[in-house]
């Protein structure tokens, strides 16, 4: 096979693999949106069948031949970064398919399908005991997966690497230590000021529909393309990329003003998912990089943009249109109430400053379990102790504590660190963007997002999953992963702008 023929066939295989991703994404979304209660067993059969079909294609002698040929190719043999991305992605998929036994993959997918329903029930019943066996089952399954991928590395390193290519837990641990120190310093400096902030202006009568409409409109202010996304009604904020121009976004209807930031967050995921170049789509590379880079885009829109005082100059009028009773409340007062830093037990509703600490606690819990230091039956206690230690706060029940996240149920173990890492990525991208668009904040205040969106599209979004995250980060920022730009940004926001 010539290199050209190899590449053409590799692209075809990858595109077909993405078709399987697309129907699995749709089936995942449908778990919440349409699937009947008694429809679940058959859905598992169907999902399992197509998982096996996709794996069969990867494990076929033909794919092996293509992968072997790709491995022989050097950087100079690729026409562009997309071809290189295809080779990288296909080799990666092939290895995972060959290394992880098929039955284990099917078992994992079926298990997460049922575990998510169990999580929902446990949350209804406020029962950690009901959920605990599922956590145990999932962690055990994940251990088997990691051991299959690489039995010679520490299990948890392998899992985190799956989420976030090129990251290891030692590096993450060191960076998190610096970050913790930096955040605590800022927190100490502003604690008194923020304790004094009066948030009573936020306590207005509202319906979920009002919050949803407000959040939806505010998200559109960032030039979000509603024709590429569907706004769903599920329990938990989420974004599923069903196709290259088809993002399914959901916000939880439980919070109040927090729903605005969830929408901006999921909107960031949705935008990254729907903004791949046509070339990326044609190569099966649409949808963006997994893990921290995706979280980074979500948190960029949620926080760096969505919590800036400049953005609130255009967002507040939307709020006032939906909540006319706030007409007498000045923007400054409302905005500062939203931004109040208050350590709390709940990750999703945490303020921007302390947020990064929440995923770190979960990351530590996972790491300790995989290092054999803890048992899942103690997870509620461990969870509570960690919150007590970090924030001086004790969750009042399972629902407020260990049951609050769907992640473990959906198989996202070794994933939480990516939220905090996403913040760090955002900080690095912001530093680079400010060189090119020094006026970005003034532009937001005028509702102009074409430069900001255009910059992220040009440097990050267009590539889809073509360029590995560490390489992309270096290409855009000239640096390796560091916490400093994010801390710099936090200091500027909390120590300078909000004083």
> Measured on CA atoms in the order 412, 483, 298, 87, is the torsion positive or negative?
negative
Six-digit token string for 189: 């400096």
Least distance to its own copies from the beta carbon of 246, Å? 3
Nearer to its own copies, 244 or 296 (CB): 244
Length of the chain: 499
Report whether 482 contacts 424 (CB < 8 A): yes
Report d(CA 130, CA 376) in Å as an integer: 12
- Closer Cβ to its own copies, 270 or 395, answer by number: 270
CB of 30 to its own copies, least distance (A): 6
Residue 244 or 469: the one with the smaller Cβ distance to its own copies is 244
> Minimum distance from CB of 105 to its own copies (Å)?
17
Strands 246-250 and 229-232: parallel
Cβ 109 to its own copies, closest distance in Å?
14
- Chain centroid to CA 284: how far? 21
User: Which residue reads 């939906």 in tokens?
Assistant: 322
Residue 238's DSSP bridge partners are 250
Q: Supply φ then ψ for residue 337, to 5 degrees.
A: -65, -40
Q: Closer to its own copies by CB, 126 or 209: give it.
A: 209
Q: In angstroms, what is the minimal distance from the CB of 469 to its own copies?
A: 25
Please report how close the Cβ of residue 422 comes to its own copies at its closest, in angstroms. 24
* Residue among 24 and 193 whose Cβ is closer to its own copies: 24
Both structure tokens of 498: 């909000």
- Closer to its own copies by Cβ: residue 274 or 316: 274
Quote the least distance from Cβ 125 to its own copies, whole Å: 19
Nearer to its own copies, 155 or 240 (CB): 240
Phi–psi pair at 247, nearest 5 degrees: -105, 135
Distance, C-alpha 103 to centroid of its chain: 27
What's 462's DSSP letter? G
Residue pair 336/348 in contact by the 8 Å Cβ criterion: no
Rg (CA), the chain: 22
Q: What is d(CA 308, CA 426) in angstroms, rounded to the nearest whole number?
A: 14
- Residue 265 C-beta: closest distance to its own copies, Å: 19
Strands 238-243 and 246-250: antiparallel
Dist. CA 315–CA 263, nearest whole Å: 13
User: What residues make contact with its own copies under the rule CB under 8 A?
Assistant: 16, 19, 22-23, 26-27, 29-30, 33-39, 41-43, 45-46, 49-50, 53, 225, 227-230, 232, 242-248, 274, 281
Nearer to its own copies, 33 or 77 (CB): 33
Q: How many helices and strands in the chain, by DSSP H and E? A: 22, 3
């Amino acid at each position: 096979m010539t290199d050209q023929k190899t590449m053409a066939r590799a692209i075809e295989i990858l595109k077909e693999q993405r078709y399987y991703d697309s129907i699995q994404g749709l089936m995942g979304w449908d778990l919440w949106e349409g699937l009947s209660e008694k429809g679940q067993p058959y859905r598992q059969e169907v999902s399992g069948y197509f998982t096996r079909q996709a794996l069969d294609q990867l494990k076929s002698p033909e794919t092996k031949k293509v992968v072997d040929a790709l491995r022989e190719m050097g950087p100079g043999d690729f026409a562009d970064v997309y071809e290189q991305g295809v080779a990288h992605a296909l080799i990666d998929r092939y290895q995972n398919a060959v290394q992880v036994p098929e039955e284990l993959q099917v078992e994992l997918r079926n298990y997460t399908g049922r575990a998510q329903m169990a999580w929902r029930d446990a949350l209804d019943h406020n029962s950690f005991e009901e959920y605990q066996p599922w956590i145990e089952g999932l962690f055990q399954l994940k251990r088997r997966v990691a051991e299959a991928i690489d039995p010679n590395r520490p299990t948890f390193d392998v899992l985190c690497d799956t989420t976030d290519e090129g990251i290891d837990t030692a590096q993450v641990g060191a960076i998190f230590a610096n970050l913790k120190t930096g955040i605590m310093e800022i927190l100490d400096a502003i604690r008194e000021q923020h304790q004094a902030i009066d948030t009573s202006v936020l306590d207005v009568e509202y319906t979920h529909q009002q919050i949803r409409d407000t959040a939806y409109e505010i998200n559109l202010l960032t030039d979000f393309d509603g024709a590429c996304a569907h706004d769903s009604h599920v329990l938990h904020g989420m974004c599923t990329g069903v196709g290259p121009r088809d993002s399914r976004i959901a916000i939880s209807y439980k919070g109040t003003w927090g729903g605005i930031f969830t929408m901006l967050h999921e909107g960031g995921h949705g935008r990254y998912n729907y903004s791949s170049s046509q070339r990326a789509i044609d190569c099966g590379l649409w949808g963006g990089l997994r893990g921290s880079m995706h979280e980074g885009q979500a948190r960029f829109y949620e926080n760096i943009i969505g919590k800036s005082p400049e953005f609130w100059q255009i967002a507040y009028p939307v709020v006032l249109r939906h909540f006319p009773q706030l007409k007498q409340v000045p923007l400054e007062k409302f905005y500062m109430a939203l931004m109040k830093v208050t350590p709390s037990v709940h990750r999703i509703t945490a303020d921007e400053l302390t947020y990064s600490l929440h995923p770190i606690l979960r990351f530590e819990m996972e790491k300790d379990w995989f290092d054999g230091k803890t048992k899942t039956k103690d997870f509620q206690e461990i969870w509570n102790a960690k919150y007590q230690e970090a924030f001086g706060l004790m969750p009042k029940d399972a629902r407020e504590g260990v049951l609050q996240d769907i992640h473990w149920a959906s198989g996202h173990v070794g994933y939480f660190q990516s939220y905090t890492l996403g913040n760090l990525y955002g900080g690095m991208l912001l530093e680079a963007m400010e060189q090119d668009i020094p006026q970005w904040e003034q532009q937001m205040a005028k509702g102009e997002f074409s430069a900001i969106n255009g910059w992220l599209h040009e440097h990050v979004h267009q590539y889809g999953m073509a360029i590995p995250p560490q390489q992309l980060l270096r290409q855009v920022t000239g640096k390796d992963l560091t916490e400093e730009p994010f801390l710099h940004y936090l200091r500027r926001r909390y120590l300078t702008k909000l004083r």
